[in-house]
Structure 1
Amino acid sequence: MKQTVGILFFLLTSINLTFAQNITVNKIAAVVGDNIILQSDIEREYANYILQGNPQNDEVKCGVLQQMLTQKLLSQQAVIDSVTVTDDEVTNEVDRRMRAFIQRAGGQERLEQFLNRSVLQYKDEIRPDVKEQLVANRMHSKITENIGITPLEVKRFFESIPKDSLPEYPTEVEVGEIVVYPKLTKAEKEQFRDKAEALRLRIKGGEDFATLARLYSQDPGSAPEGGDLGFFDRTAMVKEFTALAFKLKANELSPVFETDFGFHFLQVMERRGEQVRARHILIKMEAPQESLVRTKVAIDSIYQNVVDKKLPFSTAASMYSDNNDTKYNGGMMLNAENVSSRTTFIPTDKLDPSVFFAIDTMQVGTYSRPYEFTARDGKKGYRFVYLKSKTDPHRANLDQDFPKIKEIAFEDKIQREVSSWFEKRRLSTYIKVDPEFQTCESLKMWLPNETAQVN
C-alpha cells in the first residue's frame, strides 16, 4: 500500500509540476477546427486515470487524445445546434468527481499533496473540461435520441451473425427476494446511543476527537482518518447528517443523532462556500437476539401469506421488504454487471453465494424457507427467495434470447449511426495531430484528413 501511494505521489507530482512550470512540454497536441488540445490537457486526464488506481501506461494517452478529439467535434456541433448545460449541472459533476478523487486518494489532504494544489484550485482548473464533456455527452445523446429498432431489424441482425459466432449463454436465473431487518425498540437502541453520548462528552471534556474516532468509530471509511470525511456538499450525505452539518458553526459539536447507519455525532471543521468539511464518530446498532426472534416471526408470516397465495410476491416485496434495491422492482434482483439494461436474468456464477445455495435445489416457481443472513455491511436479517425462472446453458436463439439480442442489435445500430456522423464531420473539419501521437493505432482514422488538409 505504501509503495502504491509512493508511486501515485511521484506520478501526480511529476504531472502537476509540468502544469506548474511554463515549459515547452505544454505544446499543442492537436487542433480540431478552431479548438486546440494542449499536452497539459492530456497529462491532466492521465493524472486522473492514475488517481483511479490504474497502472502507468503511456498508451493510455493515445486513448485520452482520441477521446478529446471526439469531444471537440461534438462540442463544436453543440454550439451550432444550441446544445447547452447549466452551471448547476457542471458544479454537481465537478463535486461528484472530487468526492471520488478524495475517497480514492485517502482523504482531501493527501489528494492536495498529490495534486500539488488545493482542491478548490483543481476544481477551477477542471471545470471548463467538465463542462465541455457534459456538452459533448448531451450532443451525443441528441444524435442518438431518435434511433429505435424494430423486431424485423433484430431478426435481420441475428440472421447476419454466422452460426459458429453466436454467443453461448450460461445458466441464468431470475430471482426475487424479500428481506426483513430487525427493528430495534427504543430500549434496545439506548445502549448504542449512550455509547455515542459518552464519547461525545469525553470530547467536550477535552479529549482529542481524532484519537477517539480512530479507536471507537465504526465507520471504516473515515475512522482511520480520525473521522474526517473531507469536504462534501448537500447531496453527499443522508438527510439527517446534512441537516446538522450545514447548520453548525465551525468547531461546533452536534448532539447525538440517528440515521440508518447507527448513532453519530459530528463536528464541522471548515466551510468553503456550499461545501463543508466535517468529521464524525459512528456507533452502529447490533441487533440483539430478541429482535432477531421478532424478525423471524414477521418474515414467517409474510412467507406464509405468499405461499398460500393470499398476497402476490411482488406486492409483498413492495410492502414489507427492507432492501430498497429490489423492493421497488417487485422484489426481483437485477444483473449487477448489466445495470443499464435493468435485466433480471443473472448468470448463476454472478449470484451472491448465499442466494445461489438457497436456489440450487429449488424448482422454478417455488420459494425458499426464510433464513438468516448477513448483508455486505454486516447487518443481520432474514430473507426468503423466489426462483421465477431458470434457463439452461445454450447457444443464442431468438426464442429464448430476444431481449438480449435486441440490446446488442440496438447498440450496433447506434454505433453505426454515430460512426457515420463522425465520419462526415471529420472529413469536413480541419484536424491536425502532433507527430508524437501519429503512431497511435487508435488515432489512425484521424490522420488521412490531416494529410489531405496539409497537401
Structure 2
Amino acid sequence: MKFINNRIALLVALAFFGISAAAQQIIPNTPKDSVKPVKYTAGNKLKVDGVVAVVGDYVVLDSDIDLMYKEMQAQNVPTADVTRCELIGKLMEDKLYAHQAIQDSIIVHDAEVNETMDRQIDYFVEQLGSADKMVAYFKKKSLDSFKTELFEMIKTQKLTEQMQKKIIDEVEITPEEVRQFYAKFSKEDLPVFGAEMEVAQIVIKPKISQAEKQIVIDRLKQIKKDVQDGSSFYSKAVLYSEDPGSRSSGGFYKITRKTQFVKEFKDTAFSLAEGEISDPVESEFGFHLIYVEKIRGQELDVRHILISPKVTPEALKAAKEKAESIRKKITSGEISFADAARSESDDKDTRNGGGLLMNPRTLETRFELTKMDPTIYNQVADLKNNEVSEPILDTDQRGTQSYKLLTVTNRYNEHAADYAKDYTKIKELALKEKQIKTIAKWSAEKIKDTYIKVNGEYRDCKFANNWVKK
C-alpha cells in the first residue's frame, strides 16, 4: 500500500520476524532488582551485558538489542534510522504478550516448537553452509546450547502470536465503520492500490502406473514389518518419509477430527487402536503408513511415513502431450480456457472456478504484482490477456512434477481506492486499523497491571507505550 509510511512499515515488519531477537528467558525466583549483569563480547570490545528492562517474568538484555540489529542486517532490513529505543520497545511488547499468554493459560506444545525449530535450523544450515558455521555465526558454544536458546525463542514467539490472535479474534468491522474509515481520507490522501492481475491455470498430472504404486505399497509393508520386529518408527520416518513437514520430527503430528488433513488419513488414524500401525493408505499425496502413538480422548499423537510413487519418463511425456493438445483446442477457439479447466484440470482447488487462482492472503482472485509469488509472476508477466502459455513443467515442494497451462484473465492498473470497486480491500484496511487500536488499548491496560522496570538510559526513550509509567 503506497500510502503507508515507510518508517512505520519497517517497524511493523519487525513484529513478524520468524524468531524474536533473543532468547526469551524467564527470570528465576530471585528479587527482580538483584539480577547481576554478565559480560559478553561485541565485536572487539568487552561490554557489560545488563538487564535493561523487566516485563513480568521476562527480561530484556542489552545484548538482545544488539542481536536484533544483527538479525535485521542479515535479512537486508535497513537499520540506519532505527534506534535502540525503538528496538527495546518492540522487545518489551513481545515480552508483555508472552507474559500475559502464560497468565491466560495459553499452551504451546513442545512438538509444535520442535517442528518449527527443525525447519529454522535447516534454513540456517542451508544459508551458512554447515551446522558448525551456524553455531559460530550465532556465537554459541555448541549445537545443543544453540538449540536450547532457539527453542525458548520460538516458544515465546508462538506464545506472543497466540496472545495477539486472542486479542483481535473477536474484533469485527461494520459496513458503517468501513464507510467512516473511507470518508476520513481526502481525495489526495486516498490509499493507492498497486497494479493487479487475475491468473488461471490448468494442471495436468502424469498418470501413476499400478506397478509403481505396488512398489511403494510393498516398501511400506516391509517398513511396517521391520517396526513390528523392533525397529524404530521414528527412525524409519526420518530416513524414508517424503513429508517435509514432519520428517525431521519422526513423522509426528498431533491431530483431532477438525485438523485440516486429507479424509483418508484422518479416517484411518481414528480407526486405529493405540500402538497400532495401519496398512498403506493412499491419498492425493501418495501412500501413508500411520502409527497411533497416543490417544487422548478426541486428540491423537500420530506418526506417519509418506512415500509417493515415482513418475516414469513415459508418463511425464504423455502429460505434456495432453497439455499441448488442450492448448491447441483453446487457441483454436474450440473450447474456452475456463471450460477446459473444469473438464480437464487435475487441480481440484481451482478447476471448479475455471482455473482461477485464489490469493491466499486476501481470499480474492486478484494478485497485487509486488506481492505475487515471483515464480508465477515470471511465468505470466509477458503474456497478453487471454494468451495461453506453453506447457510449463512444475515441481512442488514434495518433488511431484506436473505440467500446467497459465493465462492472464484480467489486469488492473494502479489506482486510488474506489469505495464501490475496492470495498473488500478498504474493509480489510479498516479492520486492521481497528485491530491496532484494540491492541493499543489492551497494551495500555496490561502495562498498568504488570510489573515493568526500565533501567538506565532507556528510561529517557520516547516510547509509544507508557513503559516507564510516568
Asked if structure 1 preserves the Cα contact closer than 8 Å seen for 2:115 and 2:246, the reply is no
User: Shift of residue 24 of structure 1?
Assistant: 6.4
User: Equivalents in 1 of 2:83, 2:353: separation in Å?
Assistant: 39
User: Equivalents in 1 of 2:94, 2:421: separation in Å?
Assistant: 39
User: Shift of residue 419 of structure 1?
Assistant: 0.9
Asked if structure 2 preserves the Cα contact closer than 8 Å seen for 1:296 and 1:382, the reply is no
- Give a deviation string over 1:164-212, Cα, whole Å, max 9, x none: 111233443211011336679999xxxxxxxxxxxxxxxxxxxxxxxxx
User: Equivalents in 2 of 1:286, 1:60: separation in Å?
Assistant: 57
Q: Does 1:89 align with 2:112?
A: yes
Q: Does 1:131 align with 2:155?
A: yes
- Give a deviation string over 1:383-421, Cα, whole Å, max 9, x none: 433444443443211221111111111111101111111
- Give a deviation string over 1:341-364, Cα, whole Å, max 9, x none: 233212467662441332x253xx
* 1:147-166 equivalent positions in 2, closer than 5 A: 147-166=171-190
The structure 2 residue matched to 1:169, chosen from 193, 201, 209, is: 193
Residue number in structure 2 paired with 1:434: 455
The structure 1 residue matched to 2:325, chosen from 293, 300, 308, is: 300
Asked if structure 2 preserves the Cα contact closer than 8 Å seen for 1:300 and 1:370, the reply is no
User: Equivalents in 2 of 1:400, 1:129: separation in Å?
Assistant: 43
Segment of structure 1 superposing worse, 308-317 or 426-435 = 308-317
The structure 2 residue matched to 1:76, chosen from 95, 99, 102, is: 99
* 1:16-27 equivalent positions in 2, closer than 5 A: 18=41, 25-27=48-50
User: Equivalents in 2 of 1:86, 1:315: separation in Å?
Assistant: 42
Asked if structure 2 preserves the Cα contact closer than 8 Å seen for 1:184 and 1:287, the reply is no
Distance 1:301 1:133, change over 3 A: closer
Segment of structure 1 superposing worse, 326-335 or 117-126 = 326-335
Amino acid at match of 2:60: I
Distance 1:45 1:286, change over 3 A: farther
Amino acid at match of 1:29: V
Distance 1:326 1:96, change over 3 A: farther
User: Equivalents in 2 of 1:157, 1:94: separation in Å?
Assistant: 40
Asked if structure 2 preserves the Cα contact closer than 8 Å seen for 1:172 and 1:347, the reply is yes
Distance 1:401 1:107, change over 3 A: same
User: Equivalents in 2 of 1:79, 1:112: separation in Å?
Assistant: 30
Amino acid at match of 2:445: K
TM-score after normalising by structure 2: 0.58
Distance 1:369 1:176, change over 3 A: closer
User: Shift of residue 18 of structure 1?
Assistant: 3.5
Amino acid at match of 1:445: A
User: Shift of residue 450 of structure 1?
Assistant: 1.9
Distance 1:55 1:24, change over 3 A: same
User: Shift of residue 29 of structure 1?
Assistant: 0.8
Q: List runs of 5+ in structure 2 lacking aligned partners.
A: 1-21, 23-37, 212-236, 252-309
User: Equivalents in 2 of 1:166, 1:333: separation in Å?
Assistant: 28
Asked if structure 2 preserves the Cα contact closer than 8 Å seen for 1:175 and 1:388, the reply is yes
Residue number in structure 1 paired with 2:357: 333
User: Equivalents in 1 of 2:427, 2:239: separation in Å?
Assistant: 36
* 1:234-253 equivalent positions in 2, closer than 5 A: 234=238, 238-239=242-243
Residue number in structure 1 paired with 2:380: 355
User: Equivalents in 1 of 2:358, 2:176: separation in Å?
Assistant: 28
Residue number in structure 2 paired with 1:400: 421
Residue number in structure 2 paired with 1:113: 136
Asked if structure 1 preserves the Cα contact closer than 8 Å seen for 2:73 and 2:79, the reply is yes
Q: What secondary structure is seen at the aligned counterpart in 1 of 2:432?
A: helix
Asked if structure 2 preserves the Cα contact closer than 8 Å seen for 1:334 and 1:342, the reply is yes
User: Shift of residue 299 of structure 1?
Assistant: 4.5
> How many corresponding residue pairs?
342
Distance 1:66 1:330, change over 3 A: farther
Distance 1:160 1:285, change over 3 A: same
Residue number in structure 2 paired with 1:222: none
User: Shift of residue 69 of structure 1?
Assistant: 0.9
Residue number in structure 2 paired with 1:413: 434
User: Shift of residue 123 of structure 1?
Assistant: 1.2
User: Equivalents in 1 of 2:248, 2:456: separation in Å?
Assistant: 55
User: Shift of residue 309 of structure 1?
Assistant: 6.6
- Give a deviation string over 1:292-343, Cα, whole Å, max 9, x none: 57623444248748953798455347x424xx996698633355xxx43233
TM-score after normalising by structure 1: 0.60
- Could you tell me the percent identity over the aligned residues? 25
Distance 1:125 1:346, change over 3 A: closer
User: Shift of residue 126 of structure 1?
Assistant: 3.1
Amino acid at match of 1:134: K
Distance 1:32 1:240, change over 3 A: closer
Amino acid at match of 1:355: V
Amino acid at match of 1:169: F
Q: List runs of 5+ in structure 1 lacking aligned partners.
A: 1-11, 188-232, 248-283, 363-367
Amino acid at match of 2:198: E
Q: Does 1:40 align with 2:58?
A: no
Q: Does 1:315 align with 2:342?
A: yes
User: Equivalents in 2 of 1:381, 1:25: separation in Å?
Assistant: 57
Residue number in structure 2 paired with 1:444: 463
- Give a deviation string over 1:242-299, Cα, whole Å, max 9, x none: 889979xxxxxxxxxxxxxxxxxxxxxxxxxxxxxxxxxxxx99969x9657623444
Distance 1:342 1:301, change over 3 A: same
Q: Which has the higher helix share?
A: 1
Distance 1:403 1:90, change over 3 A: same
